[in-house]
Amino acid sequence: GAVVSQHPSWVICKSGTSVKIECRSLDFQATTMFWYRQFPKQSLMLMATSNEGSKATYEQGVEKDKFLINHASLTLSTLTVTSAHPEDSSFYICSAMTSGRTDTQYFGPGTRLTVL
Amino acid sequence: GQQLNQSPQSMFIQEGEDVSMNCTSSSIFNTWLWYKQDPGEGPVLLIALYKAGELTSNGRLTAQFGITRKDSFLNISASIPSDVGIYFCAGTLIQGAQKLVFGQGTRLTINP
Please give the pLDDT value at position A99: 73
For residue A6, CA distances in Å to A17, A21, A91 come to 20, 7, 12
- Chain centroid to Cα B8, Å, comes to 11
Mean pLDDT of B15-29: 96
CA of B101 vs chain A CAs: smallest distance (Å): 9
Hey, are the CB atoms on A107 and B33 less than 8 Å from each other?
A: no
A99 touches chain B (CB under 8 A): no
pLDDT of residue A31: 85
CA–CA gap between residue B4 and residue A92 (Å, rounded): 22
Closest alpha carbon to B48 in B64, B26, B69, B67: B64
Q: How confident is the model at residue A20 (pLDDT cuts 50, 70, 90)?
A: very high
Whether the predicted pLDDT of B100 surpasses 90: yes
pLDDT in tens, A65-97: 999 999 989 999 999 999 999 999 999 999 998
pLDDT confidence of residue B94: 79
Whether A105 and chain B come into contact, CB under 8 Å, resolves to yes
Chain A residues with CB-CB distance to B88 below 8 A: 43-44
B53-81 residue pLDDT tens: 999 999 999 999 999 999 999 999 999 99
Judged against a pLDDT cut of 70, whether residue B20 lies above it is answered with yes
- Residue A111 · residue A11 · CB < 8 Å: yes
User: Which residues are paired to A22 by β-bridges?
Assistant: A7, A78
> Rounded distance, CA A103 to CA B30, Å?
9
Quick check: A8 contacting B, CB < 8 Å?
no
pLDDT > 90 fraction of chain A, expressed in percent and rounded? 80
Considering CB atoms only, which of B42, B44, B99 is closest to A46? B99
Please give the pLDDT value at position A100. Answer: 74
Mean pLDDT of chain A: 93
Return the residue in B3, B10, B99, B106 with the most chain A beta carbons within 10 A, the one to mutate for interface testing: B99
Residues A102, B96: C-beta atoms closer than 8 Å? yes
Q: What is the structure's pLDDT at B98?
A: 83
pLDDT category of residue B2 using cuts at 50, 70 and 90: low
pLDDT of residue A103: 78
Q: Give the model's pLDDT for residue B1.
A: 54
